[in-house]
Every structure is written in structure tokens, then in C-alpha cells.
Structure 1
């Protein structure tokens, strides 16, 4: 079955080739070869012959955009979303979930061997959940078209900054997906819709909240329109306005009926709009349970939780340990994690602010002893703090990662220091995307 993908606009004459696809990388991107050079082709499957427009060429490899499938693989399936071929979100809907898992797991093994030189044990069963309707957080791009005077609301086009307008999204929780169409209509009724930067929708355990980024200061008409919309749809509404950098702009509540919270077992964790929380609630619960099981914390032991956020791992760990010390780079998150501990009646947690990419040697908490360490860094990984973890010499380390490249790299530091990779598994936090999240257990030999 031939399929066509929208080409990216370019002022240069593109180079088109035809090649066979041999394998997939850890992002589920097809890899073929042409004149001895590896060609990375999103949307292509092994066993296929494809026509490709080359978009980027390097000495050893090139990136290409799929133009036509000359011969399709028998494993190819029909995507469930009508926006699949344009939207930059779910790039692997042409594969079954089992096929996605297989490709990502093979990529995980390959990265550990190539970047870390680490012997990989048999991989654990994939932690997975619902294939659709799993996202409780999304960011929608907004664009005002002057010619038609219409507001477009949707996601960024694949390999482009252009916007793909959507009226619903099948991977969002239904409470978020059903808001997209009426929200677009509401934005069109504003006097100054062009000042809307983006919209975040978040489903907590009590309802939905909306964070709206405004590049100026909305007038009274627009503020009232937004509050009326929030009231009609029973949303809590927050506004981020002004010209300052996005991270430094405070959130103003326009309609607030509660503190946002999500549940984690018997725990209730509060957060603020703009805080990082895991988007997949069922996989997050399973991930925390696996991390605790692998750490195997004993009642008299002390645990260090690095990059602790609002306490997603910190608070569950506190039920197992004598004491837990959490460390986070943002003071607002530090306060939130400590508040969450207090609200849940947990008295054996301390949380500190620290830049974990800097030298932490002389910080008081860093000179304490710890029996176990858990870390959950952002995509850049935790290379700078790995030597300090080695110095602490905990018996077990659990590393939760959203980037297998930096996980494999950082693992080498632990293995070279006498730790052994005991367990490794994939977390399917983002089905139908190229994201690969994983969890690893290291034990001192």
C-alpha cells in the first residue's frame, strides 16, 4: 500500500533517492543504505523499498523524508489518527505496539554495548498501559491567521515549525481531547487572539486545569471571556502573561477551585501549573513500584533521591526507609516536595536545592552517608553527579531515564567503579512515539 508524506519546503533543489530499509534505530526510525552511507528515514520499516528526499547530509550518514513506499513490509499497519502523516507527535503508529517495543528494546541493548561497553542482562518485561487516551498533559500551539481571521489550534507539523490544526487527539485523556474544538472556538471570540502563545491542558485527579500563555496583558473583555469558558467547562484557569522569558513568568489564577493534585497509591501529591509531572498516570504508578522493588530499601536505611521534582519517588521511598533526602534544582519544586511530605504526614523527608550539574562536594547533605540512591534526571542525563554517587558508595543505585543515550553513557561511570548492571527494562511512557524511557538497577560488587 503506497503512502505519501507531506514534503518539507526548501529553497534548494532536493536530492531524491530510492533505497531498501534494513533495520530500525532506538527511536523506531528506519535505516537504509545508499552509496555506502546510512540513511535515517522516519516512517519506514525494515524490508521496505522506499523513495526518499534527503533533508540533511553528513559524511557518514544522512536523514531523509519518506516520499513513497514502493514495496511495503507485511508488518505495516494503518495509523489510527487522521493527522498521523503531518503531526509531529505520534510517529510510530504504522507499527504494532509489540513491534515498537521490540525495536526500542533492541536499540537499548545496542546503545549500552556501543556507548557504555556494558554487558546487558536479559531485559525485564516492558511496563506499559493503554495504547490510546493515556496522556494527562498536553501543550497546544496557537496561531492566528490574519487573512481568514481564524485561530488555529493544534500541534507542530513533523520536521517543521508549522501548525497542524486538530479537533481531537486520540492519545489524550478524553477530558482533554474533547476540549480542543470548543477551546478553538472560544479563542476566536477574543478581541486579541494573536496574543495567545500556547495552551497547556492538564488532567489532575479532580478535573482539568488550563494554563494559557499570553504574550501581553489581556484586556477585561478577553479575561472575562476566558473565565466564562472555564466556568462553563468547570476548568481551573491560570494565565501566564508578560514579555519576560517563559520560565520567569508567574501564573495568575483566573479561576481556581482547588490545589492541583495527583494520586500515587495512597499518597496525594500537589503540583502547580507548569511543574513537571509524568504524563502517563498508569505507567508512572508501575514505574514507582518497580523502582522501589529494585532498590529494596530496608527499614534502617537512608536513601538519596536526586532530581526529585515534587516527590514522585521521594514520598513512596519514605515509607520504606529510615530517612530520604531529596535534591532538586528549582526552589519552587523543593518547597512543593517538602509540602507534599508534610501534607501526607511524612516526617522522615528532607529536600534541598542544588545544581546537580555543578560541584556539590562541599554541600552538607552531600557529605552524609547513603545506603541507596535513586536518580531521575532530564534528557541531558547526570554525568556531572555520577562521580559523587560513586564516592557515596551506595549498595544499590536505580537510574530512571528518559534518554537511553545519556543512560548508557552514565552507566559506564558506575560499571568502571565496580558496580554491575543487574536489571534493565523499558518503560512505555509514550506509546506510538520515538521516546524510549527506561529504568536500570546497579549493584555494588
Structure 2
């Protein structure tokens, strides 16, 4: 007799009966933590000190995940979410926690991870957090587009939580006001275009030289569409560019002609920001990574330079240097600065920035910093080292510490877990943790950034 396979129900994904639990703490991703039948239960949206009603949505051997059904007893730290798109948009996931409590949580999560995975954060090491405004702090955002075939309308917004779906928005309270105010009129404009079914994302940037909008296009625009876009940019007083499938930029409208602006060889005006109390101008292109919180970035760069304490006769290495965010200000004070970056386009922009700022004591190189660096011409003994890696961290680069031998290392991190892991390498190589700071780059979210200073023992 033939036998047929019959899939068993996936018990790990089945909803449990409703449970009443007490939340004791937050994890480093901002989810509430409770205990049930000897397991840790993670509950997004729940806060320490609260009694909540939940349903388990996923069960593993040592932990479970739960869906928050109701809050039976609230903590005084619970705040009313400001954004109407909260819990739909995948962005600001800690709006339900007061800002002071958010920062306390981030400080605690950072020190706990460091103590658990690397080294105890002793008294005097943890410094005051670097903070900024709670709202309207983002100077840059990428808005996704989706053509709704049912409504025949183009939707503009952000990705939904844990989904590729788009939440259509009219405003965003963490964006700079100049950018948030563009969302509704931009949506209306795009829906007037013949090309609305084929448009890609919209990138908005607030820079020192105005507001920039870059529209991703997949096909050449009709003349009538280009004219509508130009009229919109003129009315809104913004710089407007398009970017095609090959990444080529075309300037449709330039809002003004300030003499301090830099025009590239193909006559494209690009955004820039200033550092070191206006002494340095840092230009960047769409797609280049830049820190989105301008105020925190200014304070972060200043603190990194203070911790490194560069001197005129020193050689300083800046790994993962981007377009020169740290390298350019460092070059004002050190004899020789070397910046290394893995993205060729950003290396080219960094070199252009050095030229425009008339900094002759800085040199930028392209290199895969996760690869074998033994033959790199720039690798050698240095006085001080600055690291600003992506979320994956700088583990591979730190394997060359014995060849670099810096007296000080400043590590800027957007992922405390990789910072803690890499700290072990530094400690094993004879360094000690001298200072640690939480950088609140993204208020209203669970994201934690940090800066650590390591010095030779």
C-alpha cells in the first residue's frame, strides 16, 4: 500500500493560550523580557515593571517569542507614541519608552554586553552619553515607492516592520522638518507623472548647501515629466537630481548658486556638511554612507579627536574612513593621516574632499579590510588608530595590530555585540579599555552606537 508524506503542524509557530507575565528587563534590541516555565520570553512592545497579557508565537528549547495582547499594569516610563504610523512602520520601535528611560536602557545594554563578552566596565570608564534632539534629527532618508495596481496610485513611505510591504506616510517626526514637509507634496507630484509605475526610491537629504532630492528612475523620463519635476523643485526651492539604472546622476534643477558650493566634472552639485567648527567641508554623493544625525556626528568627531589627542608629528590611521568624516578633521592636527575604505567611489570622493580642503597631509586608499592586508603599502607602524566599521565590526582588521602598534585606539561602533567581540582581540593584544560612551545616534529606536578608547597597558 502506498504511503504519502503528511507534514506535521509546526508547533513552534502556533499561538499559545493567553498568558499573564511580568516583564523584568529589556534586551539590547528593545524587546521586553519575562520568564515562563523556565524559558526566557521576548515580548516586543513590553517594558520592565509591567504586567502584560501575551500569546507565545514561537517556542524554542531555551526561549520563546510572544505577541503583546494587553498591558495590565503600566510602568511610569511608558510614553504615548508620537507617530501615527508607529507599530506599522519598521523604523522607530522605542517610542513607547520615555527618552530618559531609552538612554538609560541603552547605557545598561552597552555595559552589559561589554561585561558579558569582553571586559568589565569599571567605575570611571563609562562617560556621559552623547545625545541630541529627540525628534527631527535625521538629515537623510530613503523613501520606498510602490505602485498600487488597485488604486492606480504610487505610494511613498517606509518598509513595514518585518516585511517588504510599504507603509504610506504623510510625515516623519524623526526626519528634519524640511524633509518631512516634502513627503506629502512629493507624493502628489509623483502621481502626476507618466512614469509613476516605473519609479524607484526617493532619497532626501538636508545639507549645508540646501535640501537635495534624488529620484531613482528605471526608464528615461518624458519631457513633460521632467518639466513637472523642475517646476516642483523650483517651487520647493530644492536641488533635484535623477539617478538611472547605471547609477548615473543627472541634475534637473539647482536651487541656487552659492559660491561655496562644489560642482563636479559632470556639473552635478552634491550635498556637503562641515566639521571642526567649519574648518572642513565634507562632500558626499547619493549612495555614500554618512551619519544621518548631524548633531551627534559633530559631537562624535570632536570626542574622537579629543580622545586620540593627535600631535603634529604623529601618523594616524583611519580604517573604514568613508568620505573622510574623521580623517579630514584629524588632518588639521596630525602630521600624516591615512584613510582606508572598501568602497572605491567613496575613496574617490574622500580624495576630492582632501583636495578641496587643501589638506596635503592626508592620503586615502582602497582596500578590502576583511582580506589579507600583509602586502598593503599603507600598513605599518602608526601612532594612533581610529576604527569606524559597519555592523560586522573590525575583527579581521584587528589581526594586524601587531604590525601597526598604535598607542591609542578609538573604536566607533554601530553594533555593541561586534564591539564587545573585537574588544577581546584588543585586550589580548595588550590594550585596556579606558573610556566608553553611548552615542544616541537614533533616538526613538533600539539602535545603540558607542565609542570606546583603548590604550596600551
Superposition pairs for residues 120-131 of structure 1, below 5 Å? 120-121=122-123, 122-131=125-134
Partners of 2:197 and 2:161 lie apart in 1 by 23
Question: SS of 1:178's equivalent?
Answer: helix
Q: Give a deviation string over 1:393-437, Cα, whole Å, max 9, x none.
A: 100000000000000000100001110000000001110101100
1:5 aligned residue: none
Partners of 1:163 and 1:262 lie apart in 2 by 30
Deviates more, 1:87-96 or 1:422-431: 87-96
2:323 and 2:349 in contact (8 A); partners too: yes
Partners of 2:248 and 2:366 lie apart in 1 by 20
2:159 and 2:166 in contact (8 A); partners too: yes
Distance 1:16 1:181, change over 3 A: farther
User: Of 16, 19, 22, which residue of structure 2 is paired with 1:20?
Assistant: 22
Partners of 1:273 and 1:234 lie apart in 2 by 19
2:451 aligned residue: 439
2:14 and 2:58 in contact (8 A); partners too: no
Partners of 1:179 and 1:341 lie apart in 2 by 33
Q: Deviation of residue 384 (structure 1)?
A: 0.5
1:51 and 1:70 in contact (8 A); partners too: yes
1:249 aligned residue: 247
Partners of 1:365 and 1:431 lie apart in 2 by 37
**Structure with greater Cα Rg:** 2
TM-score, scaled relative to structure 2: 0.90
User: Of 328, 342, 347, which residue of structure 2 is paired with 1:315?
Assistant: 328
Deviates more, 1:113-122 or 1:159-168: 113-122
Q: Give a deviation string over 1:286-311, Cα, whole Å, max 9, x none.
A: 00010001111122111000011111
Deviates more, 1:274-283 or 1:85-94: 85-94
Deviates more, 1:73-82 or 1:348-357: 73-82
Partners of 2:287 and 2:252 lie apart in 1 by 15
Question: SS of 1:440's equivalent?
Answer: strand
Q: Deviation of residue 120 (structure 1)?
A: 4.5
Q: How many residues align?
A: 428
Distance 1:81 1:387, change over 3 A: same
Question: SS of 1:15's equivalent?
Answer: coil
Q: Give a deviation string over 1:367-412, Cα, whole Å, max 9, x none.
A: x320000010011111110111243110000000000000000010
Partners of 1:110 and 1:330 lie apart in 2 by 33
1:302 and 1:323 in contact (8 A); partners too: yes
Superposition pairs for residues 218-297 of structure 1, below 5 Å? 218-242=221-245, 249-256=247-254, 258-264=269-275, 265-266=277-278, 267-297=280-310
1:381 and 1:401 in contact (8 A); partners too: yes
Partners of 2:33 and 2:390 lie apart in 1 by 27
Partners of 1:173 and 1:166 lie apart in 2 by 15
Name structure 1 gaps, 5 residues minimum.
Answer: 1-11, 243-247
2:5 aligned residue: none
2:381 and 2:403 in contact (8 A); partners too: no
Corresponding position: 1:204 with 2:215: no
Partners of 1:53 and 1:73 lie apart in 2 by 20
Distance 1:255 1:53, change over 3 A: farther
2:40 and 2:62 in contact (8 A); partners too: yes
2:384 aligned residue: 372
TM-score, scaled relative to structure 1: 0.92
Corresponding position: 1:419 with 2:431: yes
Question: SS of 1:278's equivalent?
Answer: coil
Partners of 1:412 and 1:103 lie apart in 2 by 23
Q: Pairwise CA RMSD of aligned residues?
A: 1.7
Q: Deviation of residue 178 (structure 1)?
A: 0.4
1:120 and 1:421 in contact (8 A); partners too: no
1:129 and 1:282 in contact (8 A); partners too: yes
Partners of 1:276 and 1:256 lie apart in 2 by 23
Corresponding position: 1:355 with 2:368: yes
1:26 and 1:105 in contact (8 A); partners too: no
Corresponding position: 1:178 with 2:181: yes
Superposition pairs for residues 65-84 of structure 1, below 5 Å? 65-84=67-86
Partners of 1:305 and 1:422 lie apart in 2 by 19
User: Of 198, 204, 217, which residue of structure 2 is paired with 1:195?
Assistant: 198
Superposition pairs for residues 58-207 of structure 1, below 5 Å? 58-121=60-123, 122-207=125-210
Partners of 1:381 and 1:26 lie apart in 2 by 17
Q: Deviation of residue 16 (structure 1)?
A: 4.8
Name structure 2 gaps, 5 residues minimum.
Answer: 1-12, 256-268
Question: SS of 1:14's equivalent?
Answer: coil
Question: SS of 2:175's equivalent?
Answer: coil
Question: SS of 2:194's equivalent?
Answer: coil
User: Of 346, 365, 375, which residue of structure 1 is paired with 2:359?
Assistant: 346
1:7 aligned residue: none
2:266 aligned residue: none
Q: Deviation of residue 13 (structure 1)?
A: 4.9
Superposition pairs for residues 323-342 of structure 1, below 5 Å? 323-342=336-355
